[in-house]
Structure 1
Amino acid sequence: MASKPELVIGTRNSKLALVQAERISKALSDLHPTIKFPWQVVSVRGDVDKTSPFLKFSGPSDAAKNIWTEEMEAKLCSGELDLLAHCLKDMPTNLPDGCVLGAIVHREDPTDALVVKSGLDYKCLTDLPAGSVIGTSSTRRKALLKYKYPQLVVEECRGNLDTRLRKLDDPEGPFTAIIIATAGLNRINLSHRITKSLPASEFPYAIGQGALGIELRAGMSQHWTLFEKSKNSPPAGSGGCSSPVAVNSVIESQKPTGLSLRLEGMIIHPHGSSQVSSTSVAVVRSDDDAVALGVDLAKKLEENGGRALLDEIRVLQHGV
């Protein structure tokens, strides 16, 4: 008997990434039982360099997010891999030539979670004494903490979820608490470590946080329909940890013509010294409507001072 055809999934070598790859593999196998979807681990620069802050890599070239995807995308384009499984927020906004976003799947809770060191009894950020050290690797989270909680000290905390939790709980370590994605903890059955899920209205999240993205070769037209059934609607969009940009989306009501969606956006100076906020509301009936809402919000942010703030951030990052 002939073996099933295979489409190989590329994934990073971390517990969370492997859980996500397995989840995507099972979902695709359930939809297409005549095809096998094995996964292959790829070593990426972001997992090798666990010390450099994301701000070092950030900029208009999406360099920070490329540290999670570049090696996998090279294997995708060469044909060694057939699709890639990513946390959507880790994907570059502009994909390399020959790569496309095939589907956005498995959107979970997009919020951030406060995790306090084991043995301490603090319940929320406002409980923490002045001078408490908060660990995070995200430029957005650092900026929000500096802007909203200037009495706290923010320090770099890189590594996969298990590594960051070990750094947090180390009795000799500096951290009182860390902030990480709620979805990641849920996916690896560590939701019991969440001290408090931070309300998105107070601590907005990264664009695409909580969603998984499937990246394909542009030439895979013969397989495109395999992924259409996997798509979420409306799309979650893309963004990441390297930019001090945050969002919050709220479904205001269900109308006969679609969902009334309010999209709030914020750009924060990495030093926490200033921010620009805007809001857009629209009835969303399709992916195109969702994209148009995002574009409208981006324009409002630019007009309200976001363009000048982004230029200031670019000078801070690159000195140009």
Structure 2
Amino acid sequence: MPEKSKLVIGTRNSKLALVQAERVSKELSNIHPNIKFPWQDVSVRGDVDKTSPFLKFSGPSDAAKNIWTEEMESKLCSGELDLLVHCLKDMPTNLPDGCILGAIVHREDPTDALVVKNGVSYKSLAELPAGSVIGTSSTRRKALLKYKYPQLVVQECRGNLDTRLRKLDDPEGPFTAIIVATAGLNRINLSHRITKSLPASEFPYAIGQGALGIEIRADDESSMGVIRSIEDLPTRWICLAERSLLGTLQGGCSSPVAVNSVVESLSSEGLSLRLEGIIIHPYGSSQVSSTAVSTITSDADAEMLGKTLATQLEENGGQILLDEIRALQYGEMKSD
């Protein structure tokens, strides 16, 4: 198949998304100088509705994440766009017919970061006085905070990173601190705002957090060859294992499923990966956790590790907990 002269990249129109698209474009251009990689921003539903909590978008699978991808995927399928650059954590594990996850690239620090209001001296969640208000839009973060720090008050805080930081620093605003992805702050040169990176062993992160996913049309073999040139194989396997865990559990954007992936060794013989998973009740009333370890030498190995951990979680009480979460989400949807 002949090489194309131009591949148009689609991205959300936030500052972070544009920085990520530009990075992918530049790296692809360095390797493929005969191809142009312009990018086009697209307004998506998740950015338009900045007030509704994520439980509003919940469903029986991870289709909730379509609020970040659906409009771009429509343009991808029509041929208007050729590549979509997403934060991997925002990508559904089940993509629309005709679309595939072509490559996984550039995983930054996957942890969450505590950011306190300007002028506030507290350095950790444990130091915050009872009643302090923590802002986050993530159901996972809300659940972890309620489970581990029930003395704190958790409130919805939507918007891009700049918007959330403005809400945090507003002298009249309610927030003492917010929790956001470390990777996002690093990518837009705001790492100086990180008060404390939250250890993944204590505050596990979202599936795929910190990595970028490149989505393409399933029949576009030419683009597949181009984007795979910038992919790091261990990163791909780690993220595929995490996504397999989530997909098997059928946890969505609003399902409090968290993970900690630990590389125990990496050699020519493969990747030894310890995958730690946790399901938390949205109210912080209970949680189920488990760990699985495997040596990975292929995509299939990675996906099997995720499925194995999902089965362990379900057998350890996770299935009952997931059923409770789905019933809660269904009740929320009925009341809207």
TM-score where L is the length of structure 2: 0.91
Partner residue in 2 for 1:265: 277
Q: Measure how far apart 1:52 and its partner are.
A: 0.3
Partner residue in 2 for 1:245: 257
Q: Which stretch shifts more, 284-293 or 193-202?
A: 284-293
Q: d(CA) in 2 for partners of 1:133 and 1:277?
A: 27
Matching of residues 15-34 of structure 1 within 5 Å: 15-34=15-34
Partner residue in 1 for 2:158: 158
Q: Measure how far apart 1:253 and its partner are.
A: 3.3
Partner residue in 2 for 1:307: 319
Partner residue in 2 for 1:105: 105
One-letter identity of the residue aligned with 2:49: D
Q: Secondary structure at the match of 1:19?
A: helix
User: 8 Å contact 1:262–1:279 — kept in the other structure?
Assistant: yes
Partner residue in 1 for 2:207: 207
One-letter identity of the residue aligned with 2:122: Y
Deviations 1:228-258 (A, max 9, x none): 2222223213467422000001122346633
Q: d(CA) in 2 for partners of 1:154 and 1:51?
A: 15
Q: Measure how far apart 1:130 and its partner are.
A: 0.3
Q: Secondary structure at the match of 1:16?
A: helix
Q: Indicate the percent of aligned positions where both proteins have the same amino acid.
A: 80
Q: d(CA) in 1 for partners of 2:11 and 2:223?
A: 19
Matching of residues 1-320 of structure 1 within 5 Å: 5-234=5-234, 235=236, 236-237=239-240, 238=243, 241-254=253-266, 257-319=269-331
Q: Secondary structure at the match of 2:118?
A: coil
Q: Secondary structure at the match of 2:233?
A: coil
Deviations 1:22-72 (A, max 9, x none): 001011111111000000010111111000011110222434311111100
Give unpaired runs (5+ residues) of structure 2: 247-251
Deviations 1:178-214 (A, max 9, x none): 0000000000000000000000000000010000000
Q: d(CA) in 1 for partners of 2:229 and 2:290?
A: 34
Q: Secondary structure at the match of 1:72?
A: helix
Q: Secondary structure at the match of 2:230?
A: coil
Q: d(CA) in 1 for partners of 2:61 and 2:276?
A: 25
Give unpaired runs (5+ residues) of structure 1: none
Partner residue in 1 for 2:249: none
Q: Measure how far apart 1:285 and its partner are.
A: 2.4
User: 8 Å contact 2:101–2:216 — kept in the other structure?
Assistant: yes
Q: d(CA) in 1 for partners of 2:302 and 2:152?
A: 36
Q: d(CA) in 1 for partners of 2:78 and 2:271?
A: 41
User: 8 Å contact 2:205–2:258 — kept in the other structure?
Assistant: yes
Q: Measure how far apart 1:292 and its partner are.
A: 1.4
Deviations 1:265-292 (A, max 9, x none): 0000000000010000112223222221
Q: d(CA) in 2 for partners of 1:293 and 1:138?
A: 25
Q: d(CA) in 2 for partners of 1:24 and 1:205?
A: 23
Q: d(CA) in 1 for partners of 2:85 and 2:114?
A: 26
Deviations 1:206-229 (A, max 9, x none): 010000000001121233211222
User: 8 Å contact 2:168–2:177 — kept in the other structure?
Assistant: yes
Change (3 A) 1:241 1:184: farther
Q: Which stretch shifts more, 15-24 or 241-250?
A: 241-250
Q: Which stretch shifts more, 217-226 or 174-183?
A: 217-226
Q: Secondary structure at the match of 2:40?
A: strand
Deviations 1:139-194 (A, max 9, x none): 10000000000000000000000000000000000000000000000000000000
One-letter identity of the residue aligned with 2:23: R
Deviations 1:284-309 (A, max 9, x none): 22322222111111110111111111
Q: Measure how far apart 1:310 and its partner are.
A: 0.6
Q: Which stretch shifts more, 240-249 or 7-16?
A: 240-249
Q: Secondary structure at the match of 2:300?
A: helix
Matched residues, number: 317
One-letter identity of the residue aligned with 1:170: D
